[in-house]
C-alpha cells in the first residue's frame, strides 16, 4: 500500500544511487562493444573463425540488447530495481566467463548473447529509470550517467592492451571483466535498496506527460526511434570493424586500438556536454548533431586513409556516439514527459534491435568483397536521410487528456 507521506531521499542519497548505477554502466561499457572490437582479431585467429562468424557474434550482442529491452521495464515494475540489478550482475559474470572459456563459435555466440541480455537489464533502461525518477531536472544527471559510464569504453581497450602484454592472451581479460561486472551489479543493487523511487519527488513531476499508447501514435516518437536506431547501427558496426579496417589500410593494431580509445574519450566528453548544452539548446538540436556526426564518421571511412581523415573519424565518431545516447533519452522526456518514460524508453530500445543487422551485414559484405566500404556507403546514405528527418521534426501537441 502506498504510504501517505513517503520519505523523500536526501540529495546525498540520490547522488550515491546515481553513482552506483553509473559505475555498473561503466563496467558494462568497459567489457562490451568497444573492447570486443579490439579483442576480436585475436579471438578470430585463435578460435579459427571467419569475419562472418565474428560479425554474427556482434549481431547476437546487439540482438540480445534489443530483444530483451522490455524485460527491465517489466522486471522493475514487478520485482523492483534491486532484483533487476542483481540479475544483471549474475548474467554479466556468466557471459564474460563464457568468453573467457570459449573454444568454439558456439561458446563465443552464447557469451555475447548473455552479455547483450545483461547490458539491457543492468544498463541504460534501469539507469534512465533511476535518473528520471530521482531528479526533477534530469538533463545534468543524465549527462553524468552517460558521460562517466562512457569512460568505460576508454578503459576497456586500454585495459585489454595492458592485460594482453602481461599475460600474453585475451582470456584473462574476460575473466577480469566477469569478476568486476558481477561484483558491481551486486553493489549497485545494495546501494539503491530502500529508495522509494515511485515517490522520489513531486508526483506532479512523475506523472506529467503522455500515456504510452498516445505516444506510440505520434509520428514524432517514430522519428526519434529511427534516429536512435540509425545511430546505434552505425556505432555498433563501426566499433566492431574499424580496427580491422584501419589495419587493412596500413595502420598498426596498437594504433587502431588507441584511436578507438580516443573515440571513447570524446564520446564520454560528448555525453557530459550534452547534459549541459541540452538545457540551453534543447534535445532536438542535440539529436540532429548526433545523427549528422555519425553520418560523417561512416562517410569518412570511404576516403583515403590519412592523418586528417583519421582525425575526422575520431572526432565525429566520438561526439556522435556520446551525443546520441543522451540526446535520444532527453528528447523522449522533452516531448512525452516522465509519465511512462520507462515503457517508452524500453520500446525504443526494443525497436532498435534492427541495428544489430549492421555487423552481420558488414561482415558478410567483407567476406564477399574483401572490404567494408559497401556497408559504410549504406550507413552514409541512411544517416543523411535521418539527419534531414530530425532537422524538420517538431514537438507534438500534448492534449489535456494525455
DSSP for 114-134?
HHHHHHHHHTHHHHHHHHHHH
Name residue, grid cell 558478410: 364
Q: What is the reported pLDDT for 200?
A: 40
Half-sphere exposure of 297 (CA within 13 A, CB side): 29
Mind listing the domains of the chain with CATH numbers? 12-391 (1.20.1250.20)
Task: Specify the DSSP element, H or E, that contains 341.
Answer: helix 341-351
Name the grid cell of 116.
Answer: 547483450
Half-sphere exposure of 291 (CA within 13 A, CB side): 27
Give the 3-state secondary structure of residue 337. Answer: strand
Torsions phi, psi of 300, nearest 5?
Answer: -60, -35
Alpha helices in 68-170 (DSSP H): 70-79, 81-101, 105-122, 124-134, 139-167
Q: What is the reported pLDDT for 357?
A: 79
Model-level pTM? Answer: 0.69
Work out the end-to-end distance of the chain between its first and last CA atoms, rounded to an integer number of angstroms: 26
* Alpha-carbon torsion (51, 54, 60, 66), positive or negative: negative
Q: In the 8-state DSSP scheme, what is residue 209? A: B
Q: What is the reported pLDDT for 9?
A: 67
DSSP for 283-326?
HHHHHHHHHHHHHHHHHHTTSPP-HHHHHHHHHHHHHHHHHHHH
219: which residues sit within 8 A by CB, 6+ positions away?
396
Give the 3-state secondary structure of residue 384. Answer: helix
Closest by alpha carbon to 212, among 341, 307, 102? 341
Q: How distant is the alpha carbon of residue 325 from its chain centre?
A: 7
Q: What is the reported pLDDT for 198?
A: 55
Tell me the C-alpha distance between 299 and 145, whole Å.
Answer: 29
Task: Mark the ranges of the chain whose per-residue pLDDT is less than 50.
Answer: 1-5, 199-207, 400-402
Tell me the C-alpha distance between 24 and 29, whole Å.
Answer: 9
Amino acid at each position: 500500500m502506498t504510504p501517505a507521506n513517503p520519505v523523500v531521499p536526501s540529495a546525498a542519497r540520490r547522488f550515491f544511487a546515481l553513482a552506483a548505477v553509473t559505475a555498473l554502466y561503466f563496467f558494462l561499457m568497459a567489457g562490451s562493444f568497444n573492447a570486443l572490437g579490439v579483442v576480436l582479431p585475436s579471438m578470430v585467429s585463435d578460435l579459427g573463425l571467419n569475419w562472418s562468424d565474428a560479425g554474427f557474434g556482434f549481431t547476437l550482442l546487439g540482438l540480445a540488447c534489443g530483444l530483451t529491452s522490455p524485460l527491465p521495464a517489466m522486471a522493475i515494475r514487478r520485482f523492483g530495481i534491486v532484483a533487476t540489478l542483481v540479475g544483471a550482475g549474475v548474467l554479466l559474470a556468466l557471459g564474460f566467463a563464457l568468453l573467457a572459456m570459449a573454444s568454439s563459435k558456439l561458446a563465443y555466440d552464447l557469451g555475447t548473447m548473455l552479455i547483450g541480455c545483461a547490458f539491457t537489464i543492468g544498463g541504460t533502461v534501469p539507469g534512465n529509470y533511476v535518473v528520471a525518477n530521482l531528479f526533477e531536472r534530469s538533463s545534468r544527471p543524465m549527462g553524468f550517467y552517460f558521460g562517466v559510464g562512457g569512460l568505460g569504453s576508454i578503459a576497456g581497450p586500454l585495459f585489454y592492451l595492458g592485460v594482453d602484454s602481461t599475460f600474453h592472451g585475451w582470456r584473462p581479460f574476460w575473466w577480469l571483466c566477469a569478476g568486476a561486472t558481477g561484483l558491481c551489479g551486486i553493489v549497485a543493487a545494495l546501494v539503491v535498496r530502500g529508495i522509494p523511487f515511485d515517490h522520489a519527488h513531486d508526483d506532479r513531476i512523475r506523472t506529467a506527460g503522455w500515456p504510452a499508447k498516445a505516444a506510440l501514435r505520434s509520428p514524432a516518437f517514430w522519428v526519434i526511434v529511427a534516429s536512435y536506431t540509425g545511430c546505434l547501427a552505425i556505432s555498433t558496426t563501426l566499433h566492431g570493424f574499424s580496427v580491422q579496417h584501419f589495419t587493412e589500410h596500413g595502420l598498426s593494431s596498437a594504433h587502431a586500438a588507441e584511436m578507438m580509445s580516443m573515440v571513447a574519450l570524446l564520446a564520454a566528453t560528448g555525453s557530459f556536454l550534452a547534459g549541459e548544452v541540452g538545457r540551453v539548446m534543447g534535445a532536438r538540436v542535440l539529436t540532429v548533431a548526433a545523427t549528422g556526426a555519425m553520418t560523417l564518421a561512416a562517410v569518412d571511412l570511404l576516403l583515403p586513409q590519412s592523418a586528417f581523415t583519421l582525425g575526422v573519424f575520431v572526432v565525429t565518431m566520438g561526439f556522435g556516439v556520446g551525443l546520441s545516447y543522451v540526446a535520444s533519452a532527453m528528447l523522449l522526456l522533452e516531448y512525452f514527459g516522465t509519465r511512462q518514460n520507462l515503457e517508452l524508453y524500453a520500446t525504443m530500445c526494443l525497436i532498435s534491435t534492427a541495428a544489430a543487422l549492421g555487423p552481420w551485414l558488414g561482415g558478410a559484405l567483407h567476406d564477399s568483397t574483401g572490404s567494408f566500404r559497401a556497408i559504410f556507403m549504406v550507413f552514409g546514405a541512411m544517416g543523411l536521410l535521418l539527419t534531414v528527418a530530425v532537422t524538420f521534426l517538431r514537438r507534438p501537441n500534448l492534449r489535456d487528456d494525455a
